[in-house]
Amino acid sequence: MFPKAPSPTSTKRMPDYDYIRKELLRNGVNKKLLWTEYLEDCKTAGDDPLMYSQFCYYIQQNEQKRNATMHLPRKPGEQIEVDWAGDPAEIIDPYTGEITKAWIFVGVMTYSQYAFRRSFHQREGTRLDVCSKVKIPGNGNKIP
Where are the chain's structural domains? 17-66, 70-144
Tens digit of each residue's pLDDT (9 = 90 or more) over 15-67: 999 999 999 999 889 999 999 999 999 999 999 999 999 999 999 999 888 87
Q: What are phi and psi of 67, to 5 degrees?
A: -90, 115
pLDDT band with cut points at 50, 70 and 90 for residue 143: very low
pLDDT at 70: 78
What is d(CA 131, CA 143) in angstroms, rounded to the nearest whole number? 7
- The mean pLDDT of the chain is 81
Tens digit of each residue's pLDDT (9 = 90 or more) over 78-93: 787 888 888 888 889 8
Whole-model pTM: value is 0.51
**b (16+ CB within 10 A) / e for 103-127:** bbbebbbbeeeeeeeeebeeeeeee
What DSSP line would sit under 20-70, residue for residue? HHHHHTSTT--HHHHHHHHHHHHHHHTPBPPPHHHHHHHHHHHHHHH----
What is d(CA 37, CA 20) in angstroms, rounded to the nearest whole number? 11
pLDDT at 32: 96
Residues written for the chain? 144
